[in-house]
Chain A
Amino acid sequence: MDERAEETLLLRARRGDAEAFGRLVREHQSTLRGFLRRLTRGDAALSDDLAQEAFLEAWRKIGQKREEGSFPGWLCSIAWSRFLMHRRRRTEEPLENANDAPSLEPEPASAAKLDLEKAMARLAPAERAALTLCFALGYSHGEAAQILDMPLGTVKSHVLRGRERLISMLEAKR
């Protein structure tokens, strides 16, 4: 979908057009659910619940969305805060390393990609989020800082530390 069509859909959604919002959902559901699957270490049911909550919140607050910043970026920031709220409620995942086995869904992927997903699942959530936003989703560090509501320096250090830990985990595996 080109930028102009998305702008038009956003305008219509702001005026309360649920059909336009539905088209935006269809366009961005894969990205948001993929991002949340990374955050939840492959828990498809939980990530879908969080994605639904995030989209419902986006629908409720679409009138408050600022002009600057992309729609998918805004969705990711809502999803991130939903994920943090969920973690605060459950407090099941340690803040730093998660050494239990990730519940990654079986999917056709190269061995290297599978190793990466497993190593990713052992990173702290903020590191996972920062790496996913800056690499897989192509956001700049500044945009990622806005999405995660963190200072730029913190995002940069999450990316740096995350990369170092990934390298050491992937090397240990070889």
Chain B
Amino acid sequence: MIDDGDLDALLSAPLARVADDGFSVRLANAIARRQAFRERALWTCLALLACAPAPFLPIEDFAQAALRLGPALSGSVALSLAAAALVLTITFERRYRDWDATAL
């Protein structure tokens, strides 16, 4: 005769531990594959969108304007400062991300 107490004790026993056996690694690989696919799809769409108007743009005019403005821009102090600020920001952001990843 099995009573309620016996049954409760049996039911309340924790589930048998399931060994990982590479499950987490396979899942991480599946996540990485999906992310890579999504990123590739996104960048492909963006590239296609960016290239779509190319045949209708006055490319020659752009090239001439770049040749005209190039020397002036290369000597610009404001532009150099902006580039330095950009480099510093990217470096700081990467360092912060690395630190954040190892914080736990």
Q: List chain A positions with a Cβ less than 8 A from chain B.
A: 5, 8-9, 12, 17-22, 25-26, 29-31, 33-35, 37-38, 48, 51-52, 55-56, 59, 107, 109, 112-113, 116, 131-132, 135-138, 163, 166-167, 170-171, 174
**B11, A116: Cβ atoms closer than 8 Å:** yes
Interface residues of B in 50-76 (CB under 8 A from A): none
**A34, B18: Cβ atoms closer than 8 Å:** yes
Give the docked Cα–Cα distance between A131 and B7 (Å): 11
B101 at the interface (CB under 8 A from A): yes
**B2, A107: Cβ atoms closer than 8 Å:** no
Looking at the assembled complex, report how far the CB atom of A19 sits from the nearest CB atom of chain B, in whole angstroms: 7
Looking at the assembled complex, report how far the CB atom of B89 sits from the nearest CB atom of chain A, in whole angstroms: 19
Looking at the assembled complex, report how far the CB atom of A6 sits from the nearest CB atom of chain B, in whole angstroms: 11
Looking at the assembled complex, report how far the CB atom of B41 sits from the nearest CB atom of chain A, in whole angstroms: 15
Q: List chain B positions with a Cβ less than 8 A from chain A.
A: 1-2, 4, 7-8, 10-20, 23-24, 26-28, 30-32, 34-35, 100-101, 104
Instruction: Give the secondary structure class of A's interface.
Output: helix
**B24, A34: Cβ atoms closer than 8 Å:** no
Using known A-B contacts A22-B28, A171-B2, determine if residue A9 contacts B17 with beta carbons closer than 8 Å. no
**B28, A136: Cβ atoms closer than 8 Å:** no
B26 / chain A contacts, CB cutoff of 8 Å: 52
What 7 pairs between A and B have smallest CB-CB spacing? A34-B15, A135-B11, A33-B18, A30-B18, A135-B12, A26-B24, A116-B10
**A25, B28: Cβ atoms closer than 8 Å:** yes
A116 / chain B contacts, CB cutoff of 8 Å: 10-11
A37 / chain B contacts, CB cutoff of 8 Å: 15, 18
A-B contact pairs, 7 of them (CB 8 A): A12-B100, A21-B31, A30-B15, A55-B27, A136-B15, A167-B2, A174-B2
Give the docked Cα–Cα distance between A19 and B12 (Å): 33
